Amino acid sequence: MQATDLIRFNLRLLTGQWFRTLMTLLATAVGVSAVLLLTGMGEGARRFVLEEFSLLGNDVLIVLPGRKETTGGLPPLTGEGTRDLTLDDARAVLGLPGVKAVAPLVVGLTQAEANGRNRELMVVGTSEAFFQIRQLSPAQGRLLPALELERAEPVCVIGQGVREDLFDQTPVLGRWLRTADRRCRVIGVLENRGVSLGTDMSEAVIIPVASAQQLFDTQGLFRLFVQVRHVDMTDDLKPAILDLIQARHQGERDVTLITQDSLLGVFNDILQLLTLAVGAIAAISLVVAGILIMNITLISVSQRTSEIGLLKALGASERQVHRLFLSEALMMALLGAALGVLIGYALLWTGHWLWPQFPVSVPGWALAGAILLAIAVALLFAWLPARKAARLPPVLALKGITDAQR
């Protein structure tokens, strides 16, 4: 038998036993689509997180109050220390050679009221440098003015969500907004950028840092964003910043400095590991599909003993009969894998259509691995039943007698 004869023979068999073929194809398709769906979601989550953190740029350092000694892994996002970061620390860091801008942050939740409406909102106290570092632009009006850090001004910039919730469609520029017991005049509305670094700036009210310190009755800063003049200067500035703050804090190194590269590297490793883990879990369904193929092939052998005997009587060798059953399993695996690829990508693109912000991306290794695994599992589990069929004696096979009946 030539390859074309073998394919035509198997196609007649698969279409003749359509229900059995359909069940096998569905089992394989579910396994392949599960692998693609879970790895695609994992890879999409990895890209989404990395894109969000990349908004800071490679030239930004984050200084957090407190310190934790670590031996690797995720850099501490919060620290333990006795001293807070202050505006004087921010001013001192800004004076270092190579530092382009410093943005202090004070963050808290409070009740906001305007236009007869109120709701709990996140209030961010910062300086004008924050908008440059975070790449934020105004959709209306202007951003915070350049002020001395200790100067409190009753002005604010709001996100699109705050505008819709508190002011609806009415003009907002120049309107007053009350946060707790203080008022501020709206001077700008941020361009809608969605969620960034886990923070939805459309739901934030941004005020001068000194105003936020008065509002929350605190002198400590939540963190400092430090932008360097050139990315090549980052390695030199890291120890300089730590040494400067240590000297200002009476010789105690009680801050943590995080670079974007360290954050991206850790998140990338963690999310890649999770993607591999969920892909391996999904691959178990392919093993189940292989077991189903083995059972179906065993049933097929018992039902086709006369056919096997006729083939051998006509001169077919054990190798040819063995190849016949293996090619049948291979065809079902290929068709099931193709169906699974279509289902997997359809589900991913449906999810992307429902949530456009989430990127759709299936790693090449996941696509190739799912298809190869489906083929390998099908051939592996079909090997024994095919071997059994190949060893049936022609006379007994023509009589329809199986090994079990003997």
Position 177 scores a pLDDT of 92
Query: In this predicted model, what pLDDT tens digit does every residue of 289-341 receive, in sequence order?
Result: 788 778 877 777 777 777 777 777 778 788 888 888 888 888 888 998 999 99
Dig out the tokens for 406 from the structure: 């003997």
Q: How many CA atoms within 13 Å lie on the side-chain side of 377?
A: 27
Position 103 scores a pLDDT of 93
CB atoms within 10 A of CB 63: 23
Which of 8-17, 129-138, 287-296 is predicted least confidently? 8-17
**pTM check: above 0.85:** no
DSSP for residue 56: G
Confidence of residue 393 (pLDDT cuts 50, 70, 90): confident
Yes or no: say if 188 and 206 are a contact pair by the CB < 8 Å rule.
Answer: no
Region 385-399 average pLDDT: 72
Position 142 scores a pLDDT of 92
Position 78 scores a pLDDT of 43
Which of 195-209, 224-238, 370-384 is predicted least confidently? 195-209
Task: Calculate Rg over the CA atoms of the chain.
Answer: 33
Yes or no: say if 108 and 182 are a contact pair by the CB < 8 Å rule.
Answer: no
Position 71 scores a pLDDT of 39
Q: Any residues with CB less than 8 A from the CB of 278 and at least 6 apart, and which?
A: 38, 39, 41, 42
Query: In this predicted model, what pLDDT tens digit does every residue of 76-121 receive, in sequence order?
Result: 444 444 578 899 999 999 999 989 999 999 999 999 998 888 889 8
Position 77 scores a pLDDT of 45
